[in-house]
């Protein structure tokens, strides 16, 4: 009981700090950002709470793609420069793909448990194999966006070279998901996808920053 109470208090504190940060950022920019913040809070709450949790009716992946991809990246960009650009839109897409791939791997791992509990993720709605294809497509699009970023002058071509370091990991993860049948394998893929998301994001940040030093 003490642990549950502590978790609830900690969660409330996090929400409070986030709200204060949001109010400060809105005060430093403009009111449309408040609408984005309110929508994000609503989705965060509605994802797993309320009478009909959105994550339990197959909306988890699209919501994560939109709000943890374009909304998060464009919101951060706007707060810093107070304008939007197509470059930021392109940058948000590989981020969206990889963070969604984390959720896909998680739902593949928990597929049986979710079916028994009545949670209707894409695995329950579509079946195992189509979601495996979705995972591969998300990683393919994430890496496929790199030439688009270079052609759009968002990232210099030399900034794409470090991605050769993480490309083999993406292929390993796709094979794990494609051939995986046991929960332990999907859990390994889940952890690997989270690591790929982090490494990809750091390299993307490096690629965008390179022109500032040359």
| Any domain includes 199 | yes
Q: What is the mean pLDDT of residues 3-20?
A: 66
The strand pairing partners of 57, in sequence order, are: 120
Does 109 fall in a domain? yes
User: How far are the Cα atoms of 32, 34, 62, 153, 189 from residue 75, in angstroms, in the given order?
Assistant: 10, 11, 18, 21, 30
Give pLDDT tens digits for 154-169: 888 888 887 888 999 9
Question: Is 152 among the domain residues?
Answer: yes
Backbone angles phi, psi at 43, to 5 degrees: -70, -40
- Say if 209 falls within a structural domain: yes
Q: How much is the pLDDT for 2? A: 44
- The answer on pLDDT for 146 being more than 80 is yes
The answer to whether residue 63 is domain-embedded is no
How confident is residue 17, by pLDDT bands cut at 50, 70 and 90?
Answer: confident
Q: Which residue range forms the structural domain that includes residue 198?
A: 85-213
Could you tell me if residue 48 is inside a domain?
no
Element (H, E) at 146: helix 128-151
Output 6 or 20, whichever has higher pLDDT. 20
Q: Is residue 33 part of a domain?
A: no
Mean pLDDT of 117-123: 84
Mean of all residue pLDDT scores within the chain: 86
Number of domains making up the chain: 1
Q: Nearest 5°: phi and psi at 57? A: -125, 30
Q: How far is CA 118 from CA 57, 110, 183, in A?
A: 9, 12, 19
Residue 22 lies in a domain: no
Residue with more model confidence, 56 or 176: 176
Q: Where are the beta strands (DSSP E) in the chain?
A: none
């Amino acid at each position: 009981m003490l642990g549950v109470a502590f978790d609830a208090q900690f969660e409330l504190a996090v929400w409070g700090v986030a709200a204060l940060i949001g109010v400060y950022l809105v005060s430093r920019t403009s009111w449309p950002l408040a609408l984005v913040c309110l929508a994000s809070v609503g989705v965060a709450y509605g994802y797993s709470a309320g009478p009909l949790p959105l994550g339990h009716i197959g909306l988890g992946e699209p919501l994560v793609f939109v709000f943890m991809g374009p909304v998060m990246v464009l919101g951060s960009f706007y707060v810093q420069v107070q304008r939007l650009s197509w470059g930021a839109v392109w940058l948000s897409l590989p981020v969206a793909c990889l963070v969604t791939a984390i959720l896909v791997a998680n739902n593949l791992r928990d597929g049986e448990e979710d079916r028994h509990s009545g949670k209707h993720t894409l695995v329950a709605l579509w079946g195992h194999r189509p979601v495996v294809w979705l995972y591969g497509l998300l990683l393919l699009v994430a890496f496929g966006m790199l030439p688009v970023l270079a052609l759009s002058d968002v990232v210099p071509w030399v900034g794409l070279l470090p991605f050769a370091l993480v490309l083999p990991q993406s292929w390993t993860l796709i094979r794990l998901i494609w051939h995986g049948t046991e929960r332990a394998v999907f859990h390994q893929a889940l952890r690997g996808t989270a690591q790929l998301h982090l490494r990809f994001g750091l390299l993307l940040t490096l690629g965008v920053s390179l022109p500032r030093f040359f």
